[in-house]
Amino acid sequence: MIRQNIKIAVDAVVFGYKDKALNVLLIKRDIEPFKDSWALPGGLVLEDESLEQAVERELKEETNVTVDYMEQLYSFGKPNRDPRNRVVSVTYFALVKPEHHDIKADTDAKDVAWFDVQDLPDLTFDHKTILEKAKGRLRSKLTYEPIGFDLLDDKFLFSDLEKLYMTILEKQIDRRNFRKKILSFNILEELDEKVSEGRGRPANLFKFNKKQYFKHQKEGFLFDIK
């Protein structure tokens, strides 16, 4: 007879765009193992809850963040990934606007903070691997879905959208072709509001037209950015 003693956990990779940089939400652990080290928010699934309920609960308890939508990312189950037990982690990732959330540590977390993904502390367990997987998914998602909906302010400069793409893709883009391609989708509205971008002339603000985007989706619209 095969006997198993495997525990199921959930971990959340929550991305936000803050100070012109891609950030991820991390907690400082308040329990062993790895007490006082930084990690992704998460924990064990309780007997009476689903995976989705577990990740929502852990995120709320440890960070005070509630998200409208989370996407399942991947399952991580190497035998020695947790020194306490054999633990399989089902991971999720979400996109939020940091300014809309009042983060606060509680339960197993001593502290919670946003970190620039280019300037991270050492992460516990295999959370660096999980984060890299999530960044890869985000880069892929960027090419077929306008994720700026979830990351940028309601009103933004076009240069902010360019910086968002370059930050996530971690490379330069052809700005002229990018602008032409994005505007061709007719999912942005140019506003009669201007903001100065330093020494240059004031530039118009834009906003996403979600209603138009979802209408395009129903009609078989393909958002394709390469």
pLDDT along the chain (226 residues), means of 10: 91 95 97 97 97 97 95 97 96 96 96 97 98 96 87 93 93 92 92 83 92 82 72
Supply the pLDDT for residue 213.
86
Tokens of 183: 């505007």
pLDDT for 197 equals 72
Q: How far apart are CA 197 and CA 220, in angstroms?
A: 36
pLDDT of residue 216: 79
Q: For strand 6-18 and strand 109-116, is the pairing parallel, antiparallel, or unpaired? A: unpaired
Domain 148-218 of CATH type 1.10.238.10: no
- The residues of the chain that CATH labels 3.90.79.10 are 6-126
Q: Which pLDDT score, from 0 to 100, does residue 178 have?
A: 92
Which positions ≥6 away from 8 have C-beta within 8 Å?
Answer: 44, 45, 51, 87, 88, 89, 90
- 135 torsion bin: left (phi>0), alpha (psi -120 to 50), beta (else): alpha
Q: What is the structure's pLDDT at 215?
A: 84
pLDDT of residue 226: 65
Give the global pTM.
0.93
Residues paired with residue 11 on neighbouring β-strands, in sequence order = 42, 91
**pLDDT attached to residue 158:** 95
Portions of the chain given CATH number 1.10.10.10: 148-218
CATH superfamily membership of 6-126: Nucleoside Triphosphate Pyrophosphohydrolase (3.90.79.10)
